[in-house]
Amino acid sequence: MNNVVRVALLGAPNVGKSTLFNTLVGAHRFVGNWPGKTVDRYEGELEHHGIKIRIVDLPGTYSLSAQSEEEEIARDYIIHEKPDVVVVVVNAIALETTLYLAVQALELTSRIVILVNKIDVAEKMGIHIHIEKLSSLLGVPVVAVSALHRSGLHEAIEAIINVARGTYHVRGPSLSYGIIDYYISHFEKTLESCEASSIFPRRWLALKLVEGDKHIDAIMQEKCPELYSEALKSRKQIMEQFGKSPDLIVASSRYEFISKVIDQVIYKGKLATPPLTEKLDNILLKPLIGQLTLFIILAFLIGLVLTVNTGFPIKQIAEALGLSAVAEFLENYSLSGIVAFAFNVLSEQLRTFLIALQLPDWLISIIVDGAFAGVGAVLSFLPLIFLVFIAFGFLEDTGIMSRLAAVYHETMVKFGLSGKALMPLLLGFGCNVPAVMGTKILSTDREKFLASFLAPLIPCQARLVVLLMLLSLIPNPVIAGLLLLFIYLYSFILVGILGYLISRYMEKTREEPQLIIELPPYHLPSLRVIWWYAWDNTLHFLKKAGIIIFAISTLMSLLLMLGPSGIVSSVEGSYAYSISNLITPILTPIGLDRWEVALSLLSGFLAKESIASTLLIATGKDTPQVALATLNITLPQIVSFMLFINLYTPCVATLSAFYSQVKSAKYTVLLILTELFLAYVSAFIAFKIFTLLMP
Q: What does the alpha-carbon distance between residue 155 and residue 145 come to, in Å, rounded to a whole number?
A: 9
Asked if residue 118 belongs to a known ligand binding site, the reply is yes
Asked if residue 16 belongs to a known ligand binding site, the reply is yes
Q: What does the alpha-carbon distance between residue 365 and residue 363 come to, in Å, rounded to a whole number?
A: 5
Helix (H, G, I), strand (E, B) or coil at 112: strand
Burial group, residue 27, by CB count within 10 angstroms (0-12, 13-18, 19+)? exposed
Asked if residue 22 belongs to a known ligand binding site, the reply is yes
**Helices 202-211 and 246-265: crossing angle, nearest 10°?**
120
Burial group, residue 96, by CB count within 10 angstroms (0-12, 13-18, 19+)? middle
Whether 557 and 446 have beta carbons less than 8 Å apart is answered as no
Burial 659-695 (b: 16+ CB within 10 A, else e): bbbbeeeebbeebbebbeebbbebbbebbeebbeeee
Q: What does the alpha-carbon distance between residue 380 and residue 383 come to, in Å, rounded to a whole number?
A: 7
Asked if residue 35 belongs to a known ligand binding site, the reply is no
Strands 562-563 and 112-117 come out as unpaired
CA 214 to chain centre: 46
**How crowded is residue 410: how many other Cβ atoms within 10 Å of its Cβ?**
13
The residue ranges of DSSP E strands in 50-108, in sequence order, are 51-57, 85-91
Asked if residue 481 belongs to a known ligand binding site, the reply is no
Q: What does the alpha-carbon distance between residue 608 and residue 606 come to, in Å, rounded to a whole number?
A: 7
**Helices 547-561 and 575-587: crossing angle, nearest 10°?**
90
- Backbone φ and ψ for 150, nearest 5 degrees, come out as 60, 25
Q: What does the alpha-carbon distance between residue 269 and residue 528 come to, in Å, rounded to a whole number?
A: 10
Q: What does the alpha-carbon distance between residue 455 and residue 453 come to, in Å, rounded to a whole number?
A: 6
**Helices 652-662 and 665-693: crossing angle, nearest 10°?**
140
- Comparing C-alpha atoms, which of 484, 482, 483, 435 is closest to residue 458? 435
Strands 40-48 and 29-33 come out as antiparallel
578-586, long-range: CB < 8 A, 24+ apart: none
Whether omega for the bond prior to residue 274 falls within 30 degrees of 0, making it cis, is no
Asked if residue 378 belongs to a known ligand binding site, the reply is no
Asked if residue 37 belongs to a known ligand binding site, the reply is yes
Query: Within 13 Å, how many C-alpha atoms sit on residue 519's CB side?
Result: 17
Asked if residue 119 belongs to a known ligand binding site, the reply is yes
Asked if residue 18 belongs to a known ligand binding site, the reply is yes
Asked if residue 120 belongs to a known ligand binding site, the reply is yes
Amino acid at 14: N
Q: What does the alpha-carbon distance between residue 261 and residue 139 come to, in Å, rounded to a whole number?
A: 12
Asked if residue 543 belongs to a known ligand binding site, the reply is no
Asked if residue 58 belongs to a known ligand binding site, the reply is yes
Asked if residue 13 belongs to a known ligand binding site, the reply is yes
What are the binding residues?
Answer: 11-18, 22-23, 26, 36-40, 57-60, 117-120
What are the binding residues for GTP?
Answer: 11-18, 36-40, 57-60, 117-120
What are the binding residues for Mg(2+)?
Answer: 22-23, 26
